[in-house]
Amino acid sequence: MKQKQADFFDQVYAVVQCIPAGRVSTYGAIARALGAARSSRLVGTALIMAHDPRLSIPVHRVVNRNGLLTGKQHYGSPSEMQERLEAEGIVVLEDQVQRFDQVFWDPGEHL
C-alpha cells in the first residue's frame, strides 16, 4: 500500500455519498466541487471502481450534465440504474431524468 494523499477517487466517493436520496448530481458538478473542473471523466472512472458494495456508494445518483443515464450499461443490468432512481422517487423516461432541475443536487452548494 502506498501512502498517497487523498485520492481523487476517494474525494468523489465522499461527495457521491453526500447526495441525498431523491436527488442526483452530475460528473462535472462533482469534479468542480473537488477543484478539478476538467476531470469530469475521472469522476465516471471513479464510479466504475466504486462498484464495491462495501463502499455503499449510490452511484446511480450520478448522471451526465444532460440528466442522461449514460452509465446504466455498467450495472449488472442496463435497467438497474433506472429502477434504483425510480425507487427513490426520481422520474426517469427513456434513460433521461425528468424534472432534472428539481432533482439536481449541486455538491458545491452543499459545501
Partner DNA sequence: TACCTGACTATTT
Partner DNA sequence: AAAATAGCCAGGT
- Select from 18, 22, 70, 84 the one that contacts DNA (CB under 7 A): 70
Number of residues located near DNA, criterion CB under 7 A? 32
The least distance separating DNA from the CB of residue 111, rounded to whole angstroms, comes to 18
Residue 94 C-beta: closest distance to DNA, Å: 15
Q: Is there binding between residue 8 and DNA (CB under 7 A)?
A: yes
Site track for DNA across 15-54, x = CB under 7 A = -----------xxx-------x-xxxxxxxx-xxxxx---
CB of 101 to DNA, least distance (A): 15
Q: For the residues of the chain, what is the DSSP string, one character each?
A: ----SS-HHHHHHHHHHHSPTT-BEEHHHHHHHTT-TT-HHHHHHHHHHTT-GGG---GGGEE-TTSB-TTGGGSSSTTHHHHHHHHTT--EETTEETTHHHHB--HHHH-
List of residues contacting DNA (CB under 7 A): 7-9, 26-28, 36, 38-45, 47-51, 59-60, 62, 64-66, 70-71, 73-75, 81
